[in-house]
C-alpha cells in the first residue's frame, strides 16, 4: 500500500488526475471504476482541464460507476448520473455507450444488479478503481456488516451515511434510504485501487481502515489485502497514519 500525503488540496487533485490521465494515455481502452461524492470533484476538474488542453482523449475508455441511489430519477440533481455528467462526462469526449452507471429506478432491482454484474464480467477486469471513504468505513455503498456481498446488490443505507450525505439535499428526509452498489468482491478484483480521502473528520477511520484489523465491520480495511493500492490523503485526514 503506497500512502501519499499532500499539504494542499490542489496538489492532491493534480496527483489523482495525473494517475488517471497517465493510465488513459498509456492504455486508451482502459476500464475505469469511478466514484462520486465530494472527494473526487477536484480530481475530475483537473481531468477536464487536462482534456481541454488536448493532453488526453477519453473516447475509447470504458467506465463503471460504483453506485447509484434507489428511487430518484437520473436527472435529479443529486443522482449520480447527474453528478457524473456535471463534473466529468459532459466536458470530455467519452463515448456514452461505454459509460455504465447502475439504474436505481429499474423496475426490478435484482435484475438490474444481475445486468450490471454481467457488464462487469464482460469487461473482464477494472484497470483502476477510484474510491472515497465513508465515515463508517464504507467503500462504494458497502456498509459495515457481519458479511459483505461480492457482486452488485441493493443496500439499505446506514443512518450515519444518510446524515453525511444530507448536505447535498434540502433535508435528510430527501436522502434515499437504499442504493445499488458494486460489491466489495468486484472492487477488490480491480488491478489497481486509488483511495482518496480528505478532512480531519476522516482521520480516525483512515487510521482504522489502513492500519487496523481487517474486518467487514470496516469494509475499507479489506483494501489491506489488495496488492496494488495507492492512497492519497490531505494532511488532516492523514494525521494518524
Q: Which of 138, 142, 165, 234 is catalytic?
A: 138
Active site residue 67: yes
Q: Which of 143, 153, 165, 234 is catalytic?
A: 143
Task: State the average pLDDT over residues 203-215.
Answer: 97
Confidence of residue 136 (pLDDT cuts 50, 70, 90): very high
Q: Which of 13, 46, 65, 67 is catalytic?
A: 67
CATH of the structural domain 29-193, one choice from 3.40.50.620, 3.30.1130.10, 3.30.470.30, 3.40.50.1360: 3.40.50.1360
Active site residue 95: no
Q: Which of 46, 68, 100, 136 is catalytic?
A: 136
* Sequence-separated (6 or more) residues with CB below 8 Å from residue 140: 35, 66, 67, 131, 181, 182, 183, 184, 187
CA distance 103 to 110: 11
Q: What is the mean pLDDT of the chain?
A: 96
Q: Domain coordinates of the chain in residue numbers?
A: 29-193
Active site residue 138: yes
Task: State the average pLDDT over residues 200-213.
Answer: 97
Instruction: Name residue 32's beta-bridge partners.
Output: 63, 128
- The tens digit of pLDDT for each residue in 102-117 reads 999 999 999 999 999 9
Active site residue 153: no
- The tens digit of pLDDT for each residue in 37-61 reads 999 999 999 999 999 999 999 999 9
DSSP structure class, residue 215: B
- The tens digit of pLDDT for each residue in 62-89 reads 999 999 999 999 999 999 999 999 999 9
| DSSP H stretches of helix in the chain | 9-26, 41-52, 80-87, 109-123, 159-165, 184-188, 203-211
Amino acid at each position: 500500500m503506497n500512502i501519499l500525503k499532500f499539504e494542499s488540496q490542489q496538489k492532491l487533485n493534480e496527483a489523482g488526475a495525473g494517475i488517471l490521465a497517465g493510465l488513459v494515455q498509456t492504455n486508451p481502452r482502459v476500464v475505469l471504476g469511478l466514484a462520486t461524492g465530494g472527494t473526487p470533484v477536484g480530481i475530475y476538474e483537473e481531468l477536464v482541464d487536462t482534456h481541454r488542453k488536448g493532453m488526453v482523449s477519453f473516447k475509447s475508455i470504458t467506465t463503471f460507476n460504483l453506485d447509484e441511489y434507489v428511487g430518484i430519477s437520473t436527472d435529479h440533481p443529486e443522482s449520480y448520473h447527474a453528478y457524473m455528467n456535471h463534473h466529468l462526462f459532459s466536458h470530455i469526449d467519452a463515448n456514452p455507450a461505454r459509460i455504465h452507471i447502475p439504474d436505481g429506478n429499474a423496475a426490478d432491482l435484482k435484475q438490474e444488479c444481475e445486468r450490471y454484474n454481467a457488464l462487469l464480467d464482460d469487461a473482464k477486469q477494472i484497470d483502476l478503481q477510484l474510491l472515497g471513504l465513508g465515515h463508517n468505513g464504507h467503500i462504494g455503498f458497502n456498509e459495515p456488516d457481519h458479511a459483505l456481498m461480492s457482486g452488485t446488490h441493493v443496500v439499505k443505507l446506514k443512518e450515519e451515511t444518510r446524515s453525511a450525505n444530507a448536505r447535498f439535499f434540502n433535508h435528510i428526509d430527501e436522502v434515499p434510504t437504499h442504493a445499488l452498489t458494486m460489491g466489495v468482491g468486484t472492487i477488490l478484483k480491480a488491478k489497481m485501487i486509488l483511495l482518496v480521502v480528505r478532512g480531519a473528520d476522516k482521520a480516525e477511520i483512515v487510521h482504522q481502515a489502513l492500519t487496523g484489523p481487517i474486518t467487514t465491520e470496516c469494509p475499507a480495511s479489506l483494501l489491506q489485502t489488495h496488492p496494488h493500492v495507492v492512497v492519497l490523503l490531505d494532511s488532516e485526514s492523514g494525521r494518524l497514519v
